[in-house]
Structure 1
C-alpha cells in the first residue's frame, strides 16, 4: 500500500511570490539555451542511468524527465530555478571546439576530455568511479580510443576528483604513463574537508542536495550547480605534479598549458588555466552560470569574495585578449571573446559587490542579518542570469562575508550568550501563552503567507515539545511554501527535506562514507591524529593523562600521542615516559580506520605489538566518540 503524500500545493501567497519574480527577470534572453545545446555529439546512453555492481542505480537522470525545455514552471517551483534546471538537466557528450569535449550531467559536475598528440587528457573526473567510467565510454564511442595520458584536478572538492579510478589505473600513474596535475595544497585540502568535519558535513549535504526527496515538482528539482550527487565509489589518486605559481607553463602531450593560482576562492586549493592551441580558458568553479557560494550551507570554511573577485580580474588580464571559448567544471561553455568577458566581468563585479557592500554597511553599525536583508545587486547584476542565486544566494553570502571579517557576534550583547534552543523554546512558548496560543497565532500568520515568521515562531514550540505533531505539521507546511518560493536549489532542498523529516521523522538510509579508503590512505599521520583529536571526548577525558608512543616501520615515522586536559596533542619521536608503545605499519592503521579489522585482532595476530601498559591504550580508545550520521537537525 502506497504511503499517503502529505505534501501540500502551492498557496496563493507562494503563487503570487513566484509570479512577481518571473515578471522581473529577462526570460526573453535565450542565449543560455543556445549555448547549452551547442555542440551535442550524443545524448547520455541508457536514459542517463549508471548502475553499480549490484544493479542499483548510482546515477539516474531519468528521474528528472519531468523537467522539459518547453514546460512552464510548476506552481511549486520558483520560475527562475526552473529555468536553470531546464538548462542544467541537459546532458550528453558535447564538442566545445574540435579536440575538446565534455560529458555533462552524468554527475553533479562535468568531465572534460582534451585530445593531445598521442592520447587524452581528462579534467575533473566527477564524484564516482562508476559515473566517470561511463563518461569515458561515451567519449570513446564517438572519438578514437586513445589512452588517458594525464588528469588535471582543477580544485580540491570531491566532485572534481572522486571518479579518478574509473578512468585511470594507479599502476599506470606509478609507472609514469599517466600524470596527475593539481594545484598546490590540493591533497591536504581534499582529505581534510572530508575527514575532520566529514560526518556533520555529509549529513547536512543530504539536505542541501535533496538526496532524501522524491524527484518531482514538489520535491527535488536540482541543486542549481548541477542536478544532484551520484552515490558510487569515491576514489582518489594523489597528484604527481603540483602547480605552485601563476604563470607556470607545462607541456602535456603536445599541448601548452598556462596556469593561474586561485587559492582560497571557491576552494582552498584551486587554479585556472589556458590552452593556447584551442584558445580555451577554464576559470575552474570560480565562474559558473550561477552565483556561487562564498559559504556553502552544507558547512565548510568561509570563502573570500574579495580574493575571488581579484582572481577573475586577473584571469581577464592574463588571457582576455586571446580567449575564444570558456568551458566550466559545471554548466555549459561560452563562446566568443565578448561573451566570455561578459561572464568574467559580471562575476568579478558581483563578488566584489558582496564584499564591499557588506563591509560598508557593517561600518555603519548594521549586523549580519540586517545587512543581508538590505543588500540587493544593482539592476544589471540582478538581471544577469549567471549571477542569480541558484546555488549560492546573496543573503547567505553576505552573512558569511560579515562572519569572515567580524565573526559570528553582531556586537549586540543581547546575542552574546543566548539560551540554547530547547531552553529558549520553552520560555518563548510560556511567554506567548502556551502551545495552543502559539499555534493559533501561527496559523493566522500562515494564512497571511507570512511563512518566515511561522517557521521562526513555531520552531520554538517544536524545540520545547518535539512530540507536538500539530506544531511539526504547521512548521513543515510553512517550510514547504518557502521551498516552493526559493530560487536557490540548496535552500529549496533544505526547506523541503526539513518538512519531510518533521512529518515523517528521520529515516535511516544507507549511510554515505565521509572518508573513503583513498582519503584515509592519503591522510598524513599528522592529519590522522588531528582527526583522533576531534573524536576525543574531552569532558570524559577530564584531567586524565595518557601518553602513547607509536612506531610506523613501513613509513619510518615515530609519534607520541599526549592526552592532557581533555585534549589530544602529538609530538614527533618516542617519549621516554610513554605509558605504552605501539608498533604497527601505516597500512595496519588504515585498516583499523576503515574498520576492515580491529586493533585487538591485530594484536592477537602479532601483526601489531604493544609494549608497556595495555590498559593505557584501552583507556585511550574508550575516550574516542563514534559519530551517528542520522542525527536530528530540525528537532532537538
Structure 2
C-alpha cells in the first residue's frame, strides 16, 4: 500500500476550495430542534492521529479525506471564460455538482443529495459564490436515494420553471429501481442500513464510535422524496450528437447493472470533464451492498469503465464522481480508470475461475487476494465494499445461495440451531466460557459464532450478550472496512442498549411519483397471507383525474392486479367488481400510504366492507425488528 506520506489524495481533495458551511450543522425543516446533518462532529478525525486501540489507521486516513466539506471548483471559472464546474462535498454522504452553461448564465445540477435540507444548503453555498445563475436542468446519475431524494430543494429553487417544467434527466429504469429499493423492500433496507451506516452510533472524540462509511461520513436524516424524471436516457449518446442544455453539451453513457441497476456516466466536452457517477470512486465499492440490494455485475461494471476510457478518456482533464474527490490530469485519469476497471474485472474473473474449480463462495472469499499492483492502491482498498463480501456476491450472482452441500440444504433457523448447539456443548455457561476462551486466544470469528449461539439460545442471559458485545467491539475497532466496523459496533450497542428504530426512507409525498402498478404492488407486498386465507373479492379503482382504471383481485391469500378501461360513475356493468371506487390520484395515494383511513368523500359502488377487509389485512411494519437477538415470540 502507498506510504502515509503519499499526499496526492489530500491535494486533490483540497484543490479548488472556495468556502465551507460554518457551522456544518443542518437542522430539520420539520422540527428545527432536530439535527439532520452534523459534519462538525467529525473534527476530531482531522485534528488527531489515529487512536490505534479504537480504529484502523487506513480507514482513519480515508475518513480524514471524507470529512472535508464545502464548495469546491472542479473547473474554476477564472481559468475557463467565467464558466465552471463546482461540487459541494461533505454536506451528505454524496456530492452535489453544478455544471455551468457556457454563455447563458445557467446551471445543470447533478444529484441533489439524500434530503431536502442538505440539498437546500448546498444550493445556498453555491449561489453565495456564484449568484444569479438559473437552474436549467437536474440530472440523477442513478437510482440510489442519496442521489435523488433531496430533489424538491432543486425544483423549488428553479422558481417559475419549478417541478412542472424543469427537465429532469435519469437513466432508463430509474423509477422502477428507485421504487423497488426504497418502497418495495424499504423497511428491511432501512433497518439494515442503520447498521451499515452506523446511524445509531455517535462520533466519539476518542475514536471509539462512528468514524464514517468509507464513501462519506454518514447519510443525512432530513426530508426525503422522489421527484419523477421527465427525460429518460436509454442509450449512450452518439458521437457528434450531444444533448444540449442551452449551450452546454452533454454526452451520456448508460451503464445499467453497474453500481446500480439504473446508472449513467456523462462527459462535458467543453470542459474536458467526465462524471463517473458512482462507478469509479476512491475505494473498492460493493458488488452487493450489505444493507441488501440486487447483486451487481462486476463483469459489466468493468466493461463500462473501459468503455468510458475509450469514449472520453483522451478528452478528459478531470474526472469527478458523486462521492469523494476528483482526479486531475489526463495521464492520472487514464491510470485511475484503468485501475478501477481492472479491480472489478479481477474480482469477477478470479472468482469464476475458482468457482469452476469447485470452491464455494465462502472458500473463495477466505483465500482471495488482489494482485499486489491493485492491493497497494488506496483507491482499491475495501473501505466501503470488501474483497470478502464482494467475492461472495459474485458467487451468489452465478450460483445462488446454495453451495451444493446437502448438509446446508435444510438447516435449522438460528434459534432452533442455537438450542441444539448449546445442548451439545454442555450448556450455556460452557458455551460462553468457550467463546471467551477463543476471544482471548485471538480467534474472534469463532468466538462470535459461539457467543451468538448463546444469545439466540437464551436471550435473557446478560452475560452472553455482554461477552458477544465486547467481541464485536474488538472486531469493529480493527476493521479497515467502514461498513463492517459499523455493523460490528451497532450490533455491540444493540446487544447491551436495545434496538434503535430506523427512520422512514421516503416521505408520504414520495408515493405521488409512483405509477398505479407500483402503488398497488406496495399493497400486495403488505398483504398478510396467512390472515387472508378466507378472503376473496375484487376491487376496481377508477382514478377520476387521470381517467385510469385498475382492477385488484384478492384470492388464495394473494393480491394481483392489472389495468382496465376507465368508467365514469355511476357504474354500468354486467359483472361488477365487489367494490368500485372513484378516487383522485392523491386520494388513492393517501389510502395506500395510510394518510386516509376510509373511503369517506369518495364515490363508491358495491360492498364497502371489502375495503375494510383489505385494510385490515395490510401489515404495518416494525422499523425496529431484531437482528443480533431473536425476535420476541
Q: TM-score, normalised by structure 2?
A: 0.93
- State the distance in 2 between where 1:556 and 1:337 align: 54
Cα 1:393/1:415, change in 2 over 3 Å:
same
Matched, 1:360 2:366: no
Q: How does 1:601-612 map to 2 (within 5 A)?
A: 602-603=599-600, 607-612=601-606
The residue aligned with 2:98 is 113
Instruction: Say which SS state the counterpart of residue 211 (structure 1) adopts.
Output: coil
Cα 1:277/1:69, change in 2 over 3 Å:
farther
Instruction: Say which SS state the counterpart of residue 346 (structure 1) adopts.
Output: helix
RMSD of equivalent CA atoms: 1.7
Q: 5+ residue gaps in structure 2? A: 77-83, 566-572
Q: How does 1:236-315 map to 2 (within 5 A)?
A: 236-248=226-238, 249-315=242-308
- Please state how far the C-alpha of 1:433 moved relative to its aligned partner: 0.7
- Please state how far the C-alpha of 1:191 moved relative to its aligned partner: 2.3
Return the match for 1:96 from 52, 68, 74: 74
Q: How does 1:72-471 map to 2 (within 5 A)?
A: 72-98=50-76, 99-116=84-101, 117-169=104-156, 172-173=160-161, 178-216=166-204, 217-248=207-238, 249-471=242-464
- State the distance in 1 between where 2:128 and 2:328 align: 26
Contact 1:191 1:522 in 2 (8 A): no
For 1:437-482, what per-residue CA distance to the aligned partner results, in whole angstroms no more than 9, with x for missing partners? 1111111111112111111111111111111111111111111111
Cα 1:48/1:577, change in 2 over 3 Å:
closer
- State the distance in 2 between where 1:290 and 1:223 align: 11
For 1:93-127, what per-residue CA distance to the aligned partner results, in whole angstroms no more than 9, with x for missing partners? 11111211111001110011111122111111111
Cα 1:356/1:180, change in 2 over 3 Å:
same
The residue aligned with 1:613 is 607
Instruction: Say which SS state the counterpart of residue 74 (structure 2) adopts.
Output: strand
Instruction: Say which SS state the counterpart of residue 184 (structure 2) adopts.
Output: coil
Query: Mean Cα displacement is larger for which, 587-596 or 290-299?
Result: 587-596
Cα 1:322/1:114, change in 2 over 3 Å:
same
The residue aligned with 2:524 is 533
Q: 5+ residue gaps in structure 1? A: 1-23
Contact 2:58 2:480 in 1 (8 A): yes
- State the distance in 2 between where 1:420 and 1:517 align: 35
Query: Mean Cα displacement is larger for which, 162-171 or 93-102?
Result: 162-171
Cα 1:43/1:572, change in 2 over 3 Å:
closer
Contact 1:50 1:134 in 2 (8 A): no
For 1:408-452, what per-residue CA distance to the aligned partner results, in whole angstroms no more than 9, with x for missing partners? 001111101100111000000000111111111111111112111
Cα 1:69/1:363, change in 2 over 3 Å:
farther
Contact 1:69 1:87 in 2 (8 A): no
Return the match for 1:623 from 612, 617, 623: 617
The residue aligned with 1:550 is 541
Contact 2:551 2:561 in 1 (8 A): yes
- Please state how far the C-alpha of 1:25 moved relative to its aligned partner: 5.1
- Please state how far the C-alpha of 1:29 moved relative to its aligned partner: 2.1
Cα 1:177/1:566, change in 2 over 3 Å:
closer
- Please state how far the C-alpha of 1:167 moved relative to its aligned partner: 2.5
Contact 1:208 1:490 in 2 (8 A): yes
- State the distance in 2 between where 1:471 and 1:220 align: 24
- Please state how far the C-alpha of 1:177 moved relative to its aligned partner: 5.4
Instruction: Say which SS state the counterpart of residue 326 (structure 1) adopts.
Output: strand
Contact 2:141 2:170 in 1 (8 A): yes
- Please state how far the C-alpha of 1:323 moved relative to its aligned partner: 0.8
The residue aligned with 1:588 is 587
For 1:471-517, what per-residue CA distance to the aligned partner results, in whole angstroms no more than 9, with x for missing partners? 11111111111101111111110100000000111145xx5223323
- Please state how far the C-alpha of 1:196 moved relative to its aligned partner: 0.5
* Number of aligned positions between the proteins: 606
The residue aligned with 1:30 is 7
- State the distance in 2 between where 1:197 and 1:51 align: 25
Instruction: Say which SS state the counterpart of residue 540 (structure 2) adopts.
Output: strand
